[in-house]
Amino acid sequence: MKIQWPSLAQTKKYRKTIMACAILVLALLALKIAWLDQVIGQNEIIEAKIKQQEELVHKYEQKLKQSGEIRQNLEKQEQELKEMQKRLFRGTDPYQLAASLGDLLSSKGGDGQKLDIKTYQVLASKEYGLYSEVHLRFNLMTNVDGLYYFLDRVRNSEFAILVQEINIQKIQRNRGPDLVVNVILAALMEKGEKT
Give me the CATH number covering residue 158: 3.30.70.60
Residues 135 and 158 in one domain: yes
Tell whether 2 is covered by a domain: no
Rounded-to-integer distance, Cα 120 and Cα 106, Å: 12
| Dihedrals phi, psi of 114, to nearest 5 degrees | -80, -35
| Residue 138 · residue 163 · CB < 8 Å | no
Residue 120 pLDDT: 84
Residues 135 and 102 in one domain: yes
**Among 33, 63, 86, residue at a domain's last position:** 86
Is residue 115 domain-shared with residue 168, that is, in the same domain? yes
Q: Is the pLDDT of residue 142 over 90?
A: no
112 and 54 in a single domain? The answer is: no
% pLDDT > 90, the chain:
18
Judge whether 1 lies within some domain: no
Per-residue confidence (pLDDT) for residue 59, from 0 to 100: 93
Do 43 and 67 lie in a common domain? yes
| Same domain (yes/no): 79, 100 | no
Question: What pLDDT score does 46 carry?
Answer: 92
- The domain boundary, picked from 36, 56, 86, lies at 86
For residues 144-178, one letter each, b for 16 or more C-beta atoms within 10 angstroms of the residue's C-beta and e for the rest, the string is: eebbebbeebbeebebbbeeeeeeeeeeeeeeebe
Residues 39 and 80 reside in one and the same domain: yes
Q: Which residue has better confidence, 120 or 86?
A: 120
Predicted TM-score (pTM) of the model is 0.55
| 15 and 56 within one domain | yes
Whether residue 162 contacts residue 185, with contact meaning beta carbons closer than 8 Å, is answered with: yes
Q: Is residue 55 part of a domain?
A: yes
pLDDT score at 107: 61
Give the pLDDT confidence of 10-45 residue by residue, as tens digits: 777 777 888 888 899 988 888 778 777 788 888 889
Mean per-residue pLDDT over the chain, rounded: 82
pLDDT per residue over 105-137, tens digit each? 776 545 445 777 888 888 888 887 778 888 989
Q: Where in the sequence is the domain holding 36, given as residue range(s)?
A: 7-86
pLDDT at 195 over 50: no
Looking at 32, 63, 86, the residue that finishes a domain is 86
- Tell me, yes or no, whether 26 lies in a domain: yes
- Residues 131, 149 share a domain: yes
